[in-house]
Structure 1
Amino acid sequence: MSDKYGVGHDSYCCPDSTVLRNKLDIRDDITLSEAERQLSAIAADNVEFNPPPYSLAYLQNIHRALFSDLYEWAGELRTVGISKQTTRFCQPEYMEKEAGKIFKTMAAANWFEGMERADLIIAVAEAYSDLNVVHPFREGNGRTQRILFEHLIMNAGFEVSWWGIEEDEWIYANIAAYNCNLGPMEQVFEKCIGQPIQP
């Protein structure tokens, strides 16, 4: 038996189970997913915007803020290999190096400041897709990464909202990007990135 990441029993799971160990001692996936959704949604309201520079450590702090009520390992980089269907995420020993390259590239682009909306959509889609392949946490990567990209996009001077994106659309865009087709991810950010923020 394996979980959604293709991992069987590992040190993150309850004994003889694929359910992640958690502070509420929840032992079934459906209840845990709902608790995770509710607690992270409440916690997300308390994650404050900060301007760049951004880094893997910044991403870890977001994860810790979102999931520390539920997981002891919130904010810690995962130590096991994970995949979703045919998507194999970065191995733990390479995550810091690969994430470092992505943040360095964004820093060299001045965190996308001053870009026109059309250029921002392309740049954000590529950076988001690259970081998604790193997938540094055992669980909660998508929610954590979206907050980071909210900060990036707002810092670049644009409104952002995820409400118009269906889960299937996200999954399809991520799989396509993993296979070097950024078109669907650009379409996602075309919907998400709004108007310039008025001073």
Structure 2
Amino acid sequence: MDKYGVGQDPYCYDGTNVFRNLLEIRDDAILQEAERELTTIAADGIPFSLPPYDFDYLKSLHRQLFRDLYPWAGEIRAIDISKGDTRFCHCDRIEPEAKKLFAQLVRADWYTGLERDELIVAAAEFYGDLNVLHPFRDGNGRAQRILFEHLIINCGYEISWAGLDRDEWIRANIAAYYCDYDPMVAVFRQCIGAPLTE
């Protein structure tokens, strides 16, 4: 069983839980290190963009982050996955559910004009709902965090994930899966900073 509980994963080399990758790395620890390094470099090269922030934009961010490592970068996963007791969106429903979520974001004008406290709540709820989709085979969190950096900056606020406790982050995501957004609101209150100066 791989880390997402799907048995022999077609995204992995046979008999392993190591993702098939463009560098042909067969050791999971080495692959994870390569992934950290390559996505850090890639993230630094992704420029801020103005809206629209839609599902295609999220797929583009994922592609930019992982294109040097995975042939499926930016592509919607073709299998169902879960982590522990958390089952993510059925792969056939990802596209229509994503369109619904991003349509809500468009109707909310990408949260521009919200005061900080309102923005924190709106962003936390949207993050939690979007995370349930988990549209990619891996790397969902990294792509989503860049999307939310752009979203928050576009609203005129600083955002930083630095100092975020990993266990708190995981608990917030699990709680949001069950529509308890309070822990995620607490996370976003910590991460969304002061208004940006001109």
1:14 aligns with 2:13: yes
**How many residues are matched?**
198
Query: Could you tell me which residue of structure 1 aligns to residue 113 of structure 2?
Result: 114
Paired residues of 1:5 and 1:84 also in contact (CA < 8 A)? yes
* 2:182 equivalent to 1:183: yes
Query: C-alpha separation between the residues in 2 aligned to 1:125 and 1:197?
Result: 20
8 Å CA contact 1:129, 1:174 repeated in 2 = yes
Distance (Å, rounded) in 1 between the aligned partners of 2:165 and 2:37? 18
Q: Counterpart in 2 of 1:85?
A: 84
Query: Which whole-Å CA distance do the structure 1 matches of 2:168 and 2:34 have between them?
Result: 23
Q: Is the 2:160–2:191 Cα contact (8 Å) retained in structure 1?
A: yes
Q: CA deviation at 1:15?
A: 1.6
Provide the C-alpha distance between the structure 2 equivalents of 1:146 and 1:98, rounded to a whole number of angstroms: 19
Identity %: 58
2:40 match: 41
Name the TM-score, length of structure 2 as normaliser.
Answer: 0.98
Structure 2 Cα separation of the partners of residues 183 and 34 of structure 1:
33
TM-score by length of 1: 0.97
Q: Give the Cα separation in 2 of the matches to 1:191 and 1:153.
A: 13
Task: Give the Cα–Cα distance (whole angstroms) in 1 for the partners of residues 78 and 146 of structure 2.
Answer: 23
* 1:197 paired to 2:158: no
Question: 2:171 matched to which residue of 1?
Answer: 172
Match of 2:159 in 1: 160
CA contact (8 A) 1:121 1:189 kept: yes
By how many angstroms is 1:16 displaced?
Answer: 1.6
4+ residue runs of structure 1 moved beyond 6 angstroms? none
For 2:166 and 2:31, how far apart are their aligned partners in 1?
A: 18
How big is the shift at 1:121? 0.3
Q: CA deviation at 1:3?
A: 1.6
Q: Secondary structure at the match of 2:21?
A: coil
Contact 1:78–1:136 (Cα < 8 Å) also in 2: yes
Q: Any idea what the Cα deviations from partners look like across 1:109-167, whole Å, max 9, x if unmatched? A: 11000100000000000000000000000010000000000000000110000002021
Displacement, 1:4?
1.5
Q: Tell me the amino acid that sits aligned with residue 190 of structure 1.
A: R
Native 8 Å contact 1:133 1:178 kept in 2: yes
- Using the TM superposition, give the Cα deviation of residue 180 of structure 1 relative to its aligned residue in structure 2, in angstroms: 1.5
RMSD: 0.8
Residue 150 of structure 1: aligned partner: 149
Distance 1:116 1:3 in 2: 43
Separation in 1 of the partners of 2:179 and 2:102? 19
Gap runs ≥5 in structure 1: none
Bigger mean CA deviation after superposition, 159-168 or 115-124: 159-168
